[in-house]
Structures are given as structure tokens and as C-alpha cells.
Structure 1
Amino acid sequence: MPKFRCIPSPYSLNSLLALLCRNQRGLELLPQVLLNSLNMNIRPEESTFHLLVCALCRMNKVAYAIEILQRMIDDGLSVNDKVFSVVLSSICAQGDLDGEDVKGFWRESRKLGLSPDTGDYNSVISFFVKKGRGSDACNFLNQMKSDGIKPGIVSYTMVLSGVVAEGDYMLADELFDELLVLGLVPNVYTYNAYIAALCKQKRVEEGIKMLARMEELGCKPNVITYNTLLGTICKVGDISRARELVREMKYKGIEMNLVSYMVIIDGMVSKGEILEACALVEEVLHKSLPHENLTFDEVIWGLCQRGLVGKALEFLGKMVGNNISPGSRAWEALLLSLNLHTKFPLPL
């Protein structure tokens, strides 16, 4: 540019940096470019540093971004809310950080007078939920309300999921009631989280009523909704009720997935309904769904226990035909049923 009698400006520098920050090779050239810009009396502006911080975050170089951010603060340069949001979301996306790192950055940012928005709060809430710290997520939800920001259904749903996973069911009830009072409309994820809380407390009837309620309000349940209810119903041994739910799923066009099959098959095996379980396993094989050997082994064991060795061998053939390797429990059941007492190692 000087050769063509054109004076470079910070705007020119920013344009070049924006191009270089797109890939690793360009980033390697940044130090030399910045040094050259100083030799040409081009002083980087705050916008220049903002650009570098955001670019580094996009490339997951968060540590370098934070270092530049700290230098800006030390030199008295201002940091706007947008840069804060980008760095915060990048920090929260780091799976190897603990909660204190996030809290520390949050506190320092607030001291600088930065104002977080809904997206910033959601980033932190999501981080703590993924870390299994639902109570911390709830604290940030409360702080969000204290700052005059009305949480949306996404915020409440994330916190609800977090406290349910943590086992604080009383708080889950309070949160669900609160979001309804605020006029928020629960979505399928909200209902799924709350139904999971009810089921974990074995409040199955309330869970089924909640299923009906969500449909009345125009929220269509999905396979996760039904799997949650099926799991609890099968654990208490009410297989007939589980069958009703399965029929309801099919009527509503909700396709059963592997979890659905495994839950009800395990329930049937535990209740001794081996032939029905066997039919469902064959349905899984017919649909070419992923499979788990444990359930198949239990079916073979149950068939052998009832003297249905021929059926067990037939079922074993279908397993092998679908490239499923029987486990040791299946082989043990077959050998015992065939009265083969020879001692030899069973295949794993």
C-alpha cells in the first residue's frame, strides 16, 4: 500500500487480520503482521483486539483469547458485551474445565460492568447441567431473574433437567409450577424432564396424567416420553400396562426404538413371559436395529429354564444369522439343558 502512496490504516489492518484468522496457517503469520504494522506506525485499535479474540475463540484457541482479553483489560482498553459473550460461550464449550473456571470468568466480567444477556446465562446454565451440577444451574437461573432478565422455556427446561438428574425432585416440582405461573409454554423436552422426575419417584399415575395433559395442550409426545414411562412401569412389573402404552405408541405413529424394545423385553423376561419377549427380540432383528447381547442371552436362558430347548436352539440360529455372538450365559443354559456336563471353557 505505501508503494502505491496509500497509507495503511487500522481498518486496513483489521481487514487483513480477518482474512488471516480463518485458518491455522494464517494465524501463524499474525505475530509478524502485527510487528510490521507497528513499524509502519499503525496502532491496533480496540476493534483489532476484539477481532483477534473472536477469531481465536472460533478456532478453539480459548486460552490465547483469554490472554489477549486480559492484556486489553490491563492496558485500560474496553471490552464490549459481544466479545464477552463469545469468550464465555467458548469457555463453556470446553469439556475439560471445571465450574470454578466459569464462575471466576463470570465474576471478573461482572466487575468490569459487562451485562450478560439471555444467551450468556443459557451458556453457563447448559455448562453446569452437562457437568451434573443442577443446583449451580438453578443459582444462575435465579441470578438471571435478579438481573431483570425473564428466563424463557429453554432456560427453565435446562435447569429442570439438571435438578432432576441431581435428584432434587422437590425443586423440580417448584420449577415446573413456576414456569407455568410465568405463562411459559412447556415443550416436549420440558415435559420429558418433568415426567422423568415423576417416574424416578415412582409416581407413574401422575406421569401418565402428565402425558395426557401435554397432548391436550397441543404438545406431541415423542419416543423418549414413552420410554421413560415404559421403563418405570416395567420395573414395577405392570407388563399389561406397558403393552397398552406400546399399542398407544403405534396408534399415534410413534416408532419404537431400541430402548423401547429393550425396556419391555427386560420387563417380560423378569415376569417370566419368555415367549412374548422372544417375539419382540425377533422383531428387533427383523428391523435390523442395534442390539445388546445381554437381553438375547436372558431370553435363551428363560427358554431353557422352561424346557423349550428346541425353541432356544432356533432362536440361537437366528442370532448367529444376524451376526450376534451369544454370551456365556446363553451357552451355559444350552449346555445344562442338553445335559452336557463336560468341563471346558465357555466362549466369551
Structure 2
Amino acid sequence: MLTLFSFSRIMLRHALQTPKHSPYSVPHSALPLCFPSTSSLHSHSHDEAFDSFSRMLFMRRPPLPITHFNMILAALAERNQFPTAISLFLQLQARGIALNLLTLNILINCCSSMGRMKLAFSVLAKIFMMGYQPDTVTLTTILKGLCLCGNVEKVLHFHDRVLALGFQFNEVSYGTLIQGFCNTGYRSAAIQVLRKTLPLLGIIPNVVMYSTIIDSLCTENLVTDAFHLFSEMLAEGISPDVQSYNIMINGFCKSKMLDEALSLFQEMLRKDLVPNTVTYTTLIDSLCKSKRISCALELLDKMHDRGQPANVVTYNSLLDGMFKNQQLDKALMLFNQMKKSGIDPNIRTYSILIDGLCKGGRLSDARAIFQDLSVKGCPPNVRTYNIMINGLCKEGLCEEALTLLSEMEHNGCLPNDVTSATIIHAFRQMSMTWRGMFFGKLIKEGIDLKLSNECVDSFLKNIYM
């Protein structure tokens, strides 16, 4: 298989010269690429893009310019329909349609995104053979593909080899490289690119590069390291944007460093940066988890005053915090306020409500909300069923819980480990007579709790305890 490194230096130098052909087309006699069979790559043959492409290719005489086909290929690549795009490219090649560099770049993107790097390098070889010079997009796309494969040595080898051959990467290339390293867990390599490689090349790191690494560090709970890098960014004269602050605030909140998060929030305001819905929601959620409900509600008011709309996630955090702090009536008032604001509750919202009401001793209210879910177009999921079953079992309404369990399976929600644990716990509270009746009903209704071996042992043990 041909690769970039298969070419001699003379051939590469020739490739760097101005091509003799038009930059928008290539000779029909250009060397064709060999790909696996179309059937193994193509899985969306009847979608609208495919049909449009086929009409353009077979019904027009002469065929439309390559730019029209590129638009469809690019759209397919953006939708991650890479096999379909490759399949259509093969049709272009078979019909002898003149390709341009953009076509081949799209093809490289498809191959790289699928992890088919040998094919990507074959396309790169074709670019050279056709007298073209690969541009930064070409090389950056291959760099991204190598990063996705997770082999740092190959990535660095390709990077160094490309520079040695006289090609150049730009800011976007290095942003892609840093993102690729972070996504595959090579944060130290990303930091090395930021601190050593870029200064040597005279490229100034930007806020996106810093934010990418900071986000990766926060994801791994390395918040102290992340904040050091955040501070380094400031010291280098690079101004963090709202996204950067959101990443760092979220990192602090997840590490239960709420005061540090609030300090950064105040810093944003001093710098006239406008916190967005994500900023406020992150802080509100952390305040609620820290049982600082009044502070969270104050922040919600400020959020509204500053023109930032709360969303369902914001309200879910508040409702969850209020129910867990036994503020049932206030939570229900907030729920009504949420609906009046035009925000539609989702299944998580209803699950929070039902759970809070069950634990607050208001089973009848929880039951009423649960029964209305399907009417509201928000059918319960496994978690919602588990909450309701648990609530019924705790009130000794085991037969009703069993009916609900049967309904759950009938509606396509298969019981999980939480369901099994709830039923086993309920067994422990029953008399021997009830245990036998309950177990018999389970068998009669044909309810399969999908119990593991350990659960089965525990289940059978609890029948006779």
C-alpha cells in the first residue's frame, strides 16, 4: 500500500511545485484507488443524498462539475455517513468524473474517521501522483485520523516527517493534535505540544488549545493541575472565554470545591464576561448538592435578571436538591413555576418528583403523577418504575408493586438490578405467608427479574428466612 513515506524526496519536491493541471480537475487517466467492495462499506443506499447523487451522476449529459458532487460528499461526511460517501466516490471514479483536491480531502476525512489509515494514505499517495500538493487540511485530517487510532509514536513520526519534507501545519492542525492526544488519554503529550512544540515553531497557543487540555484534566479529576494550566494561560496574556471558565467551574464543582468555583464566577463578572446557562446551571447544581438551597434560588433569580434562560436541567437540579432537603411544598411550587415559564418537564423531572413525594410520605400524590405520565406523552423509564415500585413496597403495597412490575415488562421496560434489589428488600419485610403468595404470583405472571446467580441465591434465601 502506498504511503506518504513511499515517495522519494525528488518526487515530493516535484509535488510541492505548481501543478500543471487545473487546481480543480485531474486527468481522467489518473491512477484509480482500490477500496473494499461497496457492499461492505455502504449502508445507507436509499437515503435522499444517495438518490440525489445518483440522479446527478447518471441523468445529466455531460455530468455536472465536481463541485456539485463535493457538496453531497461533504454533507454525508458531516453526518458521519462515511461508508456511503466512499461508495459514492467509487461511482465518481468509475464514471471518469474529474476529481479535485477537495474531493480527495473529503475521502481522506472519511477513511481517517473510520480508522482506515492505510486507505487514507493511499488517497494521499494519489494526490501526489496527480501532481497536486496536499494542503494543510489534507495533512491535518490525516493527523486527526492517526490520533483516533491512539498511537502517539506514529502521530509524532508523521508530524516530524511532514515538517522535515517542507510541509507546514497551522493553528488548527495543532488544535486538532492536542484534541486527539487528550481524547486518547495522552495529556502529557498534549501539554508538551503546547509548551514546547508551538513556541519552537513560532505559533502562539490559543484559548481553545488551553481549554481542551484543561477540560481533559478536569475530566480525570486532576483539578489542581487544570487550574495551574488555567493560571498559566492568564500569565501568558491569553484571556479565557466563557467556555474556559465553564470548564474550570465545572471541574471545581465536581471536586466539591464550590468556593473556588464561586470565586471564578465572580472573576467572570469583574471581567465583564457574561455567564451563560451552563455556568449558572453548573453552580446551581453544586449549591443544591451542598444543601445551600437558598443560595441556589438566589442565583436562579440573578440568572433571570441577567437575561440568561434557565432550562429543564437547571430546574431538575433545584427540584432534586429541594426534595432531598425535605422542602416538598417549595419544590412543588417551583415545579409549577417551571411549567408557567414554558419549560416542559422531562422524564427525569417526573422521576425526581415521584421519588421526592414517595420519600416524603406522599405516596398518593406520587401515584397520581406516575399514572398521568403516559397521558402527558412522557412514558416512564426503568428508573421511574423502580422509584414507584420501591415507594409502594415501603408502604407495604407489595401486590400493587407486583402489578406495576408486570406492567413494566409489558411496556418493554426490562427490570434491572435495582428492580431486583427492591423486590428482595420487600421480601424481607413480608411474613412467611405473604412471601409464598408473592413468589407464586411472580411465577404465575411470568415475571422475569433477570436475576444474577447471586441475586437468585439471595432471593430464594429470603423466601424461607
TM-score, scaled relative to structure 1: 0.79
- Kindly provide the CA deviation profile for residues 217-273 of structure 1, in whole angstroms up to 9, marking residues without a partner as x: 111101111111111111111111111111111111111112212222222222221
Which residue of 241, 252, 255 corresponds with 1:163? 252
Task: Identify which of 134, 139, 157 aligns with 1:53.
Answer: 139
Look up the equivalent residue of 2:268 and give its one-letter code.
L
Say if 2:285 is the partner of 1:177: no
Q: Which runs of 5+ in 2 are unaligned?
A: 1-13, 24-99, 443-448, 452-465
Aligned pair count? 330
Deviations, residues 277-321 of structure 1 (Å, cap 9, x unaligned): 1122223344224332421321321342xxx57755665565455
Identity score, percent:
23
Quickly say closer, same or farther: Cα 1:84–1:339, change in 2 above 3 A: same
Q: Does 1:69 align with 2:159?
A: yes
CA contact (8 A) 1:187 1:219 kept: yes
Aligned to 1:193: 282
Letter in 2 for 1:214: M
Q: Please show how residues 209-248 of structure 1 align to structure 2 within 5 Å.
A: 209-248=298-337
The answer to whether the 8 Å contact 1:195/1:210 transfers is: yes
Q: Provide closer, same or farther for how the CA distance between residues 117 and 313 of structure 1 changes in structure 2, counting only shifts above 3 A.
A: closer
Q: CA 1:48–1:321 in 2, change beyond 3 Å: closer, same or farther?
A: closer
What CA distance in whole angstroms lies between the structure 1 residues aligned with 2:410 and 2:306? 46
User: What is the DSSP-based 3-state SS (H/G/I as helix, E as strand, rest coil) of the residue aligned with 1:53?
Assistant: helix
The residue number in structure 2 matching 1:152 is 241
Q: Any conservation in 2 of the 1:144–1:151 contact (CA below 8 Å)? A: yes
Q: State the distance in 1 between where 2:313 and 2:143 align.
A: 34
Q: Let me know the Cα RMSD of the aligned residues.
A: 3.6
Q: 1:91 aligns with which of 181, 203, 211?
A: 181
State the alpha-carbon separation in 1 of the partners of residues 408 and 271 from structure 2.
Answer: 53
Seen in structure 2, the aligned counterparts of structure 1 residues 208 and 111 have a Cα distance that, compared at 3 Å, is same
Measured in 1, the distance between the counterparts of 2:403 and 2:386 equals 18
CA deviation string 1:124-152 (max 9, x = no partner): 23322333333333223222221212211
TM-fit CA distance, 1:114: 2.4
* Contact in 2 for aligned 1:134/1:165 (Cα 8 Å): no
2:196 corresponds to: 108
The alignment status of 1:29 with 2:122, answered yes or no, reads yes
Given candidates 280, 292, 301, the residue that maps to 2:393 is: 301
Task: Report the Cα distance in structure 1 between the residues aligned to 2:15 and 2:414, rounded to whole angstroms.
Answer: 70
Residues 128, 103 of structure 1: alpha-carbon distance in 2 compared, 3 angstrom cutoff: same
* Contact 1:128/1:137 (8 A) holds in 2: yes
Within a 5 Å distance, the mapping from 1:213-292 to structure 2 comes to 213-286=302-375, 287-292=378-383
Q: Is 2:29 the counterpart of 1:10?
A: no
Q: Secondary structure at the match of 1:59?
A: helix
> Residues 10 and 211 from structure 1, CA distance in 2 versus in 1: closer, same or farther, beyond 3 angstroms?
same
Counterpart residue identity of residue 274, structure 1: L
**Aligned partners of 2:409, 2:129: CA distance in 1, in Å?**
69
Instruction: Look up the match of 1:203.
Output: 292
Task: Look up the equivalent residue of 2:188 and give its one-letter code.
Answer: E
Unaligned 5+ segments in structure 1 are 1-6
1:48/1:291 CA distance change after superposition, 3 Å: same
Name whichever of 152-161 and 54-63 sits farther off.
54-63
Moved more, 204-213 or 251-260: 251-260
Is the 8 Å Cα contact of residues 136 and 168 (structure 2) preserved in structure 1? no
Instruction: Look up the equivalent residue of 1:101 and give its one-letter code.
Output: A
